[in-house]
Chains A and B, each alone.
Chain A
C-alpha cells in the first residue's frame, strides 16, 4: 500500500462535493508489486443495547473479510490508546497515529424496537484527520434482522474495501461448490453453498447422483450444473430459494459444461453426440437452442465476454486442448494474428489449456494449464498476450472470478492422493489461501454481489 499525500489535490476540492476515490488521501493500491499491508484499526463496535456478543461477532467478520484480502493488517486491540471512541465524536488522531494506524473504523451496534439490528460506522483517515466519505456520505447505517447479521458485516467490509481500494466490492457474495465425501472409488458428490467467507455451509442435493460444475446466474438465485440424475449426464437449473431442480432442454446427447450468459437470459453448454462435443446456447425463455460450433474436434467449456459479443472455449482442434475465442453471433472473427477465422486461438504456450472463464472486467481470461506433470491457474489477455501463471500444484483446476475480478477461486489437490480443497488467489498472484469447507470440495463458482 502507498499512502498518497495529495495536499494540493485536496486543496482544490470543493468543500461541498462528494469525495471521489481519486481524491482520497488514504488509498490502497491493489496492483503494487512491492507491497506492505495497510494498517487498519477496527475496535469492537460499541453497543447501545444488550447483545454485546453479536456486536463483537460483526466486528470480527468485518476484520476477517478485510484481512483475507491480504491488503490490510489489523492492528492489535491491546495497542489501542483511545478507549472512549464514539460514532459522533472525532477520534483523537494523535492516539492512532502513534500506533501507526492509517485507517480507523468506528462502529456502533443497536437493537431496534422492532427486533431488528442496526450498525452505523465511519471510516477515518488518521493521517489526513478527516472522515472518508462513502457514496458521498460521512458514514453508513445498515439495518437487518438479527439472523442476517453476517450480511451487515460483509456489507461494511465491502464499503471499506471499496472506499480504500477503488475496487468493486465482493464480500457480500456466496460460493457454490461440489462437496465430496467417501472413498475415491465411490465418491459422493453433492451441490453445496456457503458465504464467501465459508460461513453458513449448506447442502443443496442429497448425493444420490453425481453432480458437477455448478455456476451462478447473474441474479444469484439460480445455479446451472450437470447431474447424472436418472443415469444420464445432463444440464439442470436449480433455484436456490425454492430448491426446485429442472432439466434444461431436450437434447438427445449428453449435455455438460453449462454457464449462464452475462445477461442471464441464456445458458451456454456443450452437447456430445456420436462422440463429438460442440457448443450450444439455449434461450431460457423460448427454450430454443442454437448450435455455436460445428467441428469434429472437442469444443467445450464456453464462457461469454461481459459485453456478450464473444465466447471463449476449450478446443482440441489444434491437436491438444487450447483456448479459442469466437464471436457469439457466429460471424467470422478477426484474430490477433490478422486473419479471419471462425475462432481465434489465444494460447500458444507449452502444455494444454482448458476451463477458460472470461473476467468480469472483460480484459482477461482465467484458465487451467497442464504442463510437465503440474497444473496451474493462470490468466491471459483476450488478445493472447500477457499470460501469467498465478498458482502451481499437483492439481489446480477450475478457476472462477470474484464479481469484481480481483480474486480467483479454484480447487487444489496439493499432492497425489490428497482430496480436493477450495483455494483463492489474488489476481496479482499474492495471497493464496484455503477456503475452509466441512468436506473435500471442488468446482467452486462465485456468485454476483447479493442484492
Chain B
C-alpha cells in the first residue's frame, strides 16, 4: 500500500506540473475494456437427424480431381518411367475421366533446374507423352488429352535442394474444360 501511495502522489505532482504549463486539457473519457460475459446458455447436446452432406469437394469438380484423384506424378532424376505409385494415380485419373467424359485435360511435363534448358524442354515433352500414353492405354480417348512441355520453366518448389528438385520433376494433369464447377 505504501508503494501505491507514493505513486499516487508522484502522479498528482506530475499532473499539477502539467497543469501549470498549459491549459487544462479535457479529460478523455476512457472506457475500460469490459469482459463481456456470454450469458447465453451453453448449447445443449441435442440429437438431430439430418442427411449426411458429402464431405470435401463436389464430385466431378477441379478440387475433386485434385484432392481425391491426384494431379501429379513424379519422376526420378533424368527419368521418365512411371513407377507403381505413379501408375496408381494415373489409374485413378483414367477412372475419373471415364466418369466425366466431357472433361479435357492438358498434361504438362516438368523438369528440375539441374539440366540445360533445351534438353529439359525435350525431356518434359517425353514425360508428358508417357503420361498421355499410359492414360490412353487405360482407355482414355487420346483426343481428350493435350500435352505441353515446360522444361524447367514451371517449378512448383522454389528451393534448390534434392527435395524441391524431386517435386519439380513431375507430370501435371490439368483439367482444361468439362468439369463441374
- The distance from the CB of A210 to the nearest CB of chain B, in whole angstroms, is 6
Kindly report which residue of chain A lies nearest to residue B128, judged by CB atoms: A275
Q: Does A65 contact B (CB under 8 A)?
A: no
Q: Are A300 and B160 in contact (CB under 8 A)?
A: no
Whether B153 is near chain A, meaning CB under 8 Å from some CB there, is: yes
* Nearest CB in chain B to that of A255: its residue: B121
Q: With a CB–CB cut-off of 8 A, which chain B residues contact A354?
A: 115-116, 118-119
B148 at interface by CB-CB < 8 Å: yes
Q: Which chain B residue shows the least CB distance to A302?
A: B118
1/0 contact string of B102-140 vs chain A (CB within 8 Å): 000000000001111111011101101110110000000
A238 to chain B, nearest CB (A): 18
With contacts A185-B156, A185-B158, A416-B161 taken as known, whether A277 is within 8 angstroms of B122 at the C-beta atoms is: yes
Complex partner residue of A300 from B113, B118, B132, CB under 8 angstroms: B118
Q: Interface size of B by Cβ–Cβ distance < 8 Å?
A: 28
Inter-chain CA distance A275–B128, complex, in Å, is 7
B residues in contact with A281, CB < 8 Å: none
**If the complex has contacts A233-B149, A272-B125, are A256 and B118 also in contact, measured as CB distance less than 8 A?**
yes
A432 to chain B, nearest CB (A): 20
Count A/B pairs, Cβ under 8 Å: 95
Report Cα–Cα, A321/B148, bound state, in Å. 21
- Interface presence of B155 (CB below 8 A): yes
Classify chain A's interface size: 35 or more
Q: A213-B118, A275-B130 are in contact. Are A254 and B149 (CB under 8 A)?
A: yes
**B residues less than 8 Å from A270 (CB atoms):** 118, 121-122
Which residues of A sit under 8 angstroms from B161, Cβ to Cβ? 416
- Nearest CB of A to B106, in Å: 9
B128 and A298 contact, CB distance less than 8 A: no
Q: How many Å from the CB of B54 to the closest CB on chain A?
A: 32
Contact with B along A202-220 (1 / 0, CB 8 A): 0000000010110000000
A397 contacts chain B at the CB level, 8 A cutoff = yes
In contact, B148 and A233 (Cβ under 8 angstroms): yes
Residue of A nearest to B147 (CB): A275
Closest to A369 in B: B116
Partner of A275 from the list B116, B125, B160 (CB cut-off 8 Å) is B125
The answer to whether A321 touches B128 (Cβ under 8 A) is: no
**Complex contact B119–A314 (CB within 8 A):** yes
- In the complex, the answer to whether B153 meets A300 with C-beta atoms within 8 Å is no
- Chain B contacts for A277, CB-based, 8 A: 121-122, 125-126
0/1 interface trace, chain B 21-33, chain A, CB 8 Å (1 if under) = 0000000000000
Question: Do A210 and B119 form a contact, CB below 8 Å, given A254-B125, A275-B125?
Answer: no
Q: Across the interface, which residues of A come within 8 angstroms of B130, CB to CB?
A: 275
Q: Does A221 contact B (CB under 8 A)?
A: no
The verdict on A159 contacting chain B, using a C-beta distance below 8 Å, is no
Minimum C-beta distance from A320 to chain B (A):
8
Among residues of B, the one whose C-beta sits closest to the C-beta of A272 is B125
Closest CB in chain A relative to B4 CB, distance in Å: 56
B153 touches A210 (CB 8 A): yes
**Chain B CB within 10 A, most for which of A253, A277, A417, A442:** A277
A244 interface residue, CB < 8 Å from B? no
Nearest neighbor of B116 in chain A, beta-carbon distance: A354
B118 and A301 within 8 A (CB): yes
Known A-B contacts A185-B155, A187-B153, A210-B153; the reply to A300 vs B122 at CB < 8 A is yes
Q: Which residues of A contact B155 (CB under 8 A)?
A: 184-185
Q: B121–A370 contact, CB under 8 A? A: no
A257 within 8 A of B: yes
Q: What string of 1s and 0s marks CB contacts (under 8 Å) between A169-206 and chain B?
A: 00000000000000111010100000000000000000
> Which residues from chain B contact A272 at a C-beta distance below 8 Å?
121-122, 125-126, 149
A370: chain B residues at CB < 8 Å are: 114-116
Take A184-B158, A187-B153, A210-B153 as given contacts and tell me if A298 and B116 are in contact as well, using a CB distance cutoff of 8 Å. Answer: no
- Complex contacts, B156 vs chain A, CB 8 Å: 185
Nearest residue, chain A, Cβ from B132: A275
Q: Is the CB of B118 within 8 A of A254?
A: no
Most chain-A Cβ atoms within 10 A of its Cβ — which of B78, B118, B123, B160?
B118
Contact partner of A355 among B114, B118, B123, CB < 8 A?
Answer: B118
A231 at the interface (CB under 8 A from B): yes
Contacts of A298 in B (CB 8 A): 119, 122-123, 126
Question: From residue B24, how far is it (CB to closest CB) to chain A in Å?
Answer: 56
Rounded to whole angstroms, the CA-CA distance of A187 and B133 in the bound complex is: 30
A224 at the interface (CB under 8 A from B): no
A257 near B125 (CB under 8 angstroms)? no
Query: In the bound complex, how far is the Cα of B149 from the Cα of A277, in angstroms?
Result: 12
A368 within 8 A of B: yes
In the complex, A226 Cα to B121 Cα: how many Å?
11
Residues of A within 8 A of B115 (CB): 354, 370
Q: Does A400 contact B (CB under 8 A)?
A: no
B160 to chain A, nearest CB (A): 3
Chain A contacts with B in 3-32, Cβ cutoff 8 A? none
Between-chain CB contacts (< 8 Å), 6 pairs? A210-B153, A275-B125, A277-B125, A301-B119, A355-B116, A398-B117
Interface residues of B (CB under 8 A from A): 78, 113-119, 121-123, 125-126, 128-130, 132-133, 147-149, 153, 155-156, 158-161
